[in-house]
Chain A
């Protein structure tokens, strides 16, 4: 196998599992160390630069970083990365003097943002400091998009959202709220230099079953209903509520219903419990509030008596998988299940909808009637129209929308400066030794054995009676420190210098997790992985292969369960191993040089 090219910054970036998994590539270990050092404002700013909404995301992120966290591969649970982020947001000091300076003199380029959600706001955040004039259109009365209309206040207090949204709008974005854009052509006619579409995936799926029409008064589309609750158009619901669907929207619907008078709220889902789309912690939170989840139930009929919805009929199924692993839900043949109800919330998915985009504005539509959008530049087939967030490739999540926004802002900037949008800027990368002395590193290399700390919650008796009372209380400073200490500092890279190695094996012997081997490298990767001191069976994780050493052997490291404890470097008599901190930052618009 060929020696690893560690000059490619992506190699070490991939070792920082959390950062690599984050769509916005937030430098997670760096801010976790700052939280441990109680430098909350600094930790917040690292987040803010990268993901724009640390307070929001610290409460609501889908956290792709956590399943990726290396800690989850050496013990039960990953580091509570998401909730640590919240600690930075909750405890930060004044950051107004750290905000980018917005030039008084504009650069003469005008940008329209359609939709006021996370993608559009990120574009504004990146372009305003460069001197662009930005107009934002949204049909809601305030910015934030789905973060405002879909995420219930008991998970995300309005003031947290307002703080982070206003910080961007206060840069001088010209907002047009309560303004539904019904024609792209009309926007284009205003001669913007670029238009960014961040209008989300606004249409909730309906369920066309017998009785649907007759029951209409008590059947609500989940996302529309959540939005009505958020804007206080709806203040109560029936006592018995059925929530259909198994995603995070269903979890938000059932928990909201519980607070609006639903005494008997049930989530009923077609798939098996384990295969529900909702995040495990959201299912746990629903269960904690006394909401049962009935799985393997396929809805059949809305039962209406005397013109009023009284129940729903379900067929029991079981999941059967064919040889390709494709699932089908097969009826068990048991008697149908009748579940009485006063209201039904349908949260079975949402989709994109672009009735307002004329099909003759040079913008091509492809599969599923979605606009054709480049996955790297976010440019549509109309060179001055860009997409991002759920509007680009269908419903995903806030952090993905932010990542889209950053990239679209780069494209818009390049486009407006007459450059090729395909000229993507390289990431900013530094790799610096952390050695401070013998057995002494500038990071806390000692690995703590603590298990994941639970985030305390407010008492049910208070949370269920107040829709706006935040359920999670967040870590206190001490618990945050302890949780932060669980981080393995995976950005402290093990960097190997072949010519210094005397092959004494000290690193191989000391490595607690048997990551290292010094062996002959004369086979292809798959075989080489099996010849290591411990076979490298996790093929998602790279192996780090050195050039051949003096004896013709090579140093091979399986990155999989490296604790980044630095012992290899401490036991190395010649400093052939060094712990070097990788700081990898995604380059933003205007920083391309």
Chain B
């Protein structure tokens, strides 16, 4: 009986700019089912944070309830974390972000936590353009309670021993687009090459960065009749293109074909390259993204990759014009500037 991860790592593990190895971004060993897509997503987050040379203590992981929401334990073990009430992660993230705008906020949720119990919370975090990455680990079922259909299950899709689903699914990427998310992507837990650069871009994006990651539930929803199993997803996968994330300090070395390439510069100077597979996609147009999602769905295909990005995104702090200094760093002198200032303020209101 083991289930204990050995302490040894590859002796030649590379180090990032901070001198950390991937090991420094790992968390506890996963207790999810063997083969769970969520573990792949955790590994992708570890890889992305390692490659971005993020100091682990500058990250706050937030989640609600569900298999997906357990995963923050399994990555970034040296970061801050908050496991909130079911579906209430967006509120906690909003509060934390307003109090300390200096942290990187990584929200992890599931299709139940976001599309059912937390739908109201989710929508408002989106429309406020809260500066965070919000990952939905979407397996179309409630894995923690034995695999009942969730609100993202496709019509006709059937989980293990299940009846085909009769209800219209909620497409979270479309919802996010309609509510004003400034970065929207979809991916697949089994496509690490696509997922890692998307996470890096989402973390670097200022504003609400939403990634809907299809993440098969091997135990309850990985059978031939399910549309969220490994086999079905692989067979029906289409991508908007290949995404490259180039950090600010690194020179762009890849040559991109004219017309097929879209380049987006983020506020921190890093660049996201989308090498388009479908020339129809206009990365700056919500309408284009929404239409393409529908078009591919009509062809029985799942469109993945970067769908929409607003370079001019203004996050909640900018919209509200809050203090550049995180609220938690403001001292008594700044918060209570004294009678004179109060008098002046009162005077201005008369």
Give the B-binding residues of A (Cβ under 8 A).
73-75, 439-441, 445-447, 449, 502-506, 508-510, 512-515, 534-535, 537, 550-551, 561, 563, 565-567, 570-574
Q: Which residues of B contact A512 (CB under 8 A)?
A: 5-9
Q: Which residues of B contact A447 (CB under 8 A)?
A: 6-8
Stretch at the interface among B33-41, B205-213, B271-279, B325-333: B33-41
Do B7 and A505 touch across chains, with their CB atoms under 8 A apart?
A: no
- Nearest CB on A from B80, distance (A): 23
Do A439 and B1 touch across chains, with their CB atoms under 8 A apart?
A: yes
Do B6 and A505 touch across chains, with their CB atoms under 8 A apart?
A: no
Do A537 and B34 touch across chains, with their CB atoms under 8 A apart?
A: no
Describe B's contact surface by its main secondary structure.
loop
Q: Which residues of A contact B230 (CB under 8 A)?
A: 502-504
Do A574 and B35 touch across chains, with their CB atoms under 8 A apart?
A: yes
Which 4 A-B pairs give the minimum distances between C-beta atoms? A573-B35, A447-B6, A509-B43, A504-B35
Q: Which residues of A contact B4 (CB under 8 A)?
A: 446
- Nearest CB on B from A491, distance (A): 17
Among A441, A505, A567, which residue has its beta carbon within 8 angstroms of that of B43?
A505
Do A505 and B13 touch across chains, with their CB atoms under 8 A apart?
A: no
Do B2 and A567 touch across chains, with their CB atoms under 8 A apart?
A: yes
Complex CA distance for A509 and B13, rounded to whole angstroms: 15
Do B39 and A509 touch across chains, with their CB atoms under 8 A apart?
A: yes
A-B contacts, 19 listed (Cβ < 8 Å)? A449-B7, A502-B218, A503-B190, A504-B190, A504-B216, A504-B230, A509-B43, A513-B10, A515-B10, A534-B10, A537-B12, A563-B6, A563-B8, A567-B6, A570-B2, A570-B34, A571-B39, A573-B218, A574-B35
Known A505-B43, A506-B39; 9 more pairs at CB < 8 Å? A446-B6, A505-B40, A505-B189, A512-B6, A513-B8, A550-B231, A565-B2, A572-B35, A573-B222
Do A514 and B234 touch across chains, with their CB atoms under 8 A apart?
A: no
Q: Which residues of A contact B3 (CB under 8 A)?
A: 439, 570
Complex CA distance for A573 and B35, rounded to whole angstroms: 5
Do B234 and A550 touch across chains, with their CB atoms under 8 A apart?
A: yes
Q: Which residues of A contact B190 (CB under 8 A)?
A: 503-505
- Nearest CB on A from B68, distance (A): 16
- Nearest CB on B from A188, distance (A): 57
Q: Which residues of B contact A441 (CB under 8 A)?
A: 2
Do A572 and B34 touch across chains, with their CB atoms under 8 A apart?
A: yes
Q: Which residues of A contact B30 (CB under 8 A)?
A: 510
Do B13 and A534 touch across chains, with their CB atoms under 8 A apart?
A: yes
Question: Which residue from chain B places its CB closest to the CB of A441 in the assembled complex?
Answer: B2
Do B8 and A504 touch across chains, with their CB atoms under 8 A apart?
A: no
Do B234 and A551 touch across chains, with their CB atoms under 8 A apart?
A: yes
- Nearest CB on B from A173, distance (A): 48
Q: Which residues of B contact A449 (CB under 8 A)?
A: 6-8
Q: Please report which residues of chain B, range 272-300, place their CB below 8 angstroms from some CB of chain A when the two chains form the complex.
A: none
Do A514 and B9 touch across chains, with their CB atoms under 8 A apart?
A: yes
- Nearest CB on B from A158, distance (A): 42
Do A514 and B13 touch across chains, with their CB atoms under 8 A apart?
A: yes
Do B9 and A513 touch across chains, with their CB atoms under 8 A apart?
A: yes
Complex CA distance for A75 and B22, rounded to whole angstroms: 18
Q: Which residues of B contact A513 (CB under 8 A)?
A: 8-10
Do B9 and A504 touch across chains, with their CB atoms under 8 A apart?
A: no
Q: Which residues of B contact A74 (CB under 8 A)?
A: 8, 11
Complex CA distance for A470 and B104, rounded to whole angstroms: 64
Complex CA distance for A439 and B34, rounded to whole angstroms: 10
Among B5, B6, B13, B37, which residue has its beta carbon within 8 angstroms of that of A504?
B37
B262 at the interface (CB under 8 A from A): no
- Nearest CB on A from B191, distance (A): 10
- Nearest CB on A from B280, distance (A): 26
B160 at the interface (CB under 8 A from A): no
Do A565 and B40 touch across chains, with their CB atoms under 8 A apart?
A: no
- Nearest CB on A from B246, distance (A): 21
Complex CA distance for A300 and B219, rounded to whole angstroms: 79
Given A504-B37, A514-B10, A445 and B2 touching (CB < 8 A)? yes
B101 at the interface (CB under 8 A from A): no
Question: Which residue from chain B places its CB closest to the CB of A73 in the assembled complex?
Answer: B11
B192 at the interface (CB under 8 A from A): yes
Question: Which residue from chain A places its CB closest to the CB of B3 in the assembled complex?
Answer: A439
- Nearest CB on B from A488, distance (A): 9
- Nearest CB on B from A106, distance (A): 53
Complex CA distance for A502 and B190, rounded to whole angstroms: 10
Given A440-B1, A502-B35, A509 and B6 touching (CB < 8 A)? no
Q: Which residues of A contact B2 (CB under 8 A)?
A: 439, 441, 445-446, 565-567, 570
Among A509, A537, A567, A570, which residue has its beta carbon within 8 angstroms of that of B40?
A509
Question: Which residue from chain B places its CB closest to the CB of A449 in the assembled complex?
Answer: B7
Question: Which residue from chain A places its CB closest to the CB of B37 in the assembled complex?
Answer: A504
- Nearest CB on B from A58, distance (A): 27
Complex CA distance for A21 and B307, rounded to whole angstroms: 56
Question: Which residue from chain A places its CB closest to the CB of B43 in the assembled complex?
Answer: A509
Question: Which residue from chain A places its CB closest to the CB of B26 in the assembled complex?
Answer: A512
Q: Which residues of B contact A537 (CB under 8 A)?
A: 12
Do B43 and A561 touch across chains, with their CB atoms under 8 A apart?
A: no
Q: Which residues of B contact A572 (CB under 8 A)?
A: 34-35
Do A573 and B7 touch across chains, with their CB atoms under 8 A apart?
A: no
Q: Please report which residues of chain B, range 211-259, place their CB below 8 angstroms from some CB of chain A when the two chains form the complex.
A: 216, 218-219, 222, 230-231, 234
Do A534 and B5 touch across chains, with their CB atoms under 8 A apart?
A: no
Complex CA distance for A565 and B190, rounded to whole angstroms: 24
Question: Which residue from chain B places its CB closest to the CB of A565 in the assembled complex?
Answer: B6
Complex CA distance for A570 and B3, rounded to whole angstroms: 8
Do A506 and B40 touch across chains, with their CB atoms under 8 A apart?
A: yes
Complex CA distance for A535 and B42, rounded to whole angstroms: 22
Q: Which residues of A contact B234 (CB under 8 A)?
A: 503, 550-551
Q: Which residues of A contact B39 (CB under 8 A)?
A: 506, 509-510, 571
